Amino acid sequence: MKAFVLDKYAKGAALRLTDVPEPQLREDEVLVAVHAAGVNLLDVKIRDGEFKPILPYKTPLVLGHDLAGTVVRTGPKASRYRVGDEVYSRADDFRIGAFAQVIAVRESSLALKPKSLNMEEAASLPLVALTAWQALVERGQLRAGQKVFIQAGSGGVGTIAIQLAKHIGAYVATTASGHNAEWLKALGADLVIDYRTQDFEAVLHDYDLVLHSQDAKALEKSLNILRRGGKLVSITGPVTPAFAAEIGAPWFLRPVLWALSRGALKKARRRGVAFDFLFMKAHGPQLEQITALIEAGHIRPVIDRVYPFAETNAAIAHVEAGHAKGKVVIKIK
């Protein structure tokens, strides 16, 4: 089969299109013919080697976490899906490889593709939708009537998190460039702060929850806008000791991760708020709940651009540039 392969970790490295063996199917896996694959900043960071301490992949490696496609074959312990079923998924860590014609996915990480979406639309959703769900619902326990600040509203996670938070019944504030304000309000944002001309710390006060996706400076400001007892869930770090224990990080790495997060944890305690780091996980049952919201019209995909399979490197460069409005997708079949 054809796949785009990362030969070695390097910042800006180009993936190589080549023939690779079809993945061997484990007992709990489903073999899926990939019709479309979503591109995420996580793919860029893995390519650059930034995640080697916590995701030590061996090269050569096929990247790609998001996919939509059709079932080709099932393992002996995978019985939920039949050949020909249309499915979508965020592939599990250490089982990634969506930038290819075929991928083996753990059955528990799959869900039937929403009937209302085409393959490209479906492939744009799993990682960002699961991130929004796990940050707002699972970790943040967001409720109707609460106030949530979602950073970078026009990005892949932001566009879905705004819709999910609005469906829950929260008051939603976000940051974006001014020309995206009306578009984000149409998605469900109540307040859009122009990051080029406004300081969100001066505008927002007594928020219940923050979904943090930016840098350390934004993290410090975000802790300041929370009410006492509020919570910040970060998807960009710093990594906490709790996460290090969760993934079974080697003993020599844990003091480093503790040192990186000590400042944020200390400030959070001093302000009487909670700080949590989220590294989202593949989760088929949660994806099924998201599917129900999609079919009911509460969440819709936002796609910036679809690239042909041959232009996979251009798609990754587009995401890396940081200006995508929603998601970038690769059409494979």
pLDDT at res. 236? 94
pLDDT of 268: 97
Distance CA 32, CA 101 (A): 9
96/146 same-domain check: no
Mean pLDDT of 285-294: 98
Q: Identify whether residues 121 and 135 lie together within a single domain.
A: no
Residues 273 and 305 reside in one and the same domain: no
Regarding whether 81 and 40 lie in a shared domain, the answer is yes
* Nearest one of 74, 92, 135, 84 to 113, comparing CA atoms: 84
| 119: its two tokens | 């393959």
C-alpha distances in angstroms, 213 versus 157, 166, 255, 259, 311?
9, 19, 24, 20, 27
Instruction: Give residue 74's domain range.
Output: 2-125+301-331
**What's residue 323's pLDDT?**
87
Q: How many helices (H) and strands (E) are present in the chain, helices listed first? A: 11, 16
Q: What is the maximum alpha-carbon separation in the chain? A: 58
Report the number of distinct structural domains present in the chain.
Answer: 2
Residue 291 included in any domain:
no
User: Are 76 and 155 contained in the same domain?
Assistant: no
Query: Could you give the CA distance from residue 305 to residue 311 in angstroms, rounded to a whole number?
Result: 12
Give the Å distances, CA to CA, from 78 to 62, 97, 111. 23, 19, 13
For residue 60, the one-letter residue type is P
Q: Is the pLDDT of residue 253 over 80?
A: no
Same domain, 135 and 271: yes
Shared-domain flag, residues 166 and 252: yes
Tokens of 259: 């040192």
Residues 327 and 259 in one domain: no
Strands 110-112 and 86-90, by their bridges, are antiparallel
Cβ atoms of 123 and 36 closer than 8 Å: yes
Under a CB-based contact definition with an 8 Å cutoff, are residues 249 and 271 in contact? no
- Supply the pLDDT for residue 282: 98
Q: Is the pLDDT of residue 157 over 80?
A: yes
Q: What single DSSP character describes residue 59?
A: S
List the alpha helices (DSSP H) in the chain. Answer: 41-48, 119-123, 126-133, 156-168, 181-187, 200-203, 216-224, 241-246, 254-271, 284-295, 312-321
The model's pLDDT over 29-41, given as tens digits with 9 standing for 90+, comes to 999 999 999 999 9
| In a domain? residue 295 | no
Strands 110-112 and 171-176: unpaired
Report yes or no on 50 lying in a domain. yes
What is the C-alpha to C-alpha distance for residues 184 and 163, in angstroms, rounded to an integer? 9
**286, part of any domain:** no
| pLDDT (0 to 100) of residue 185 | 98
Please state whether beta strands 61-62 and 110-112 pair in parallel, antiparallel, or not at all (unpaired).
unpaired
Same domain, 102 and 19: yes
Q: Do 119 and 132 share a domain, yes or no?
A: no
Pair (307, 240) in one structural domain = no
CATH number assigned to the domain comprising residue 90? 3.90.180.10
pTM given for the model: 0.97
Domain check: are 173 and 220 in the same one?
A: yes
- Residue 169 maps to which CATH number? 3.40.50.720
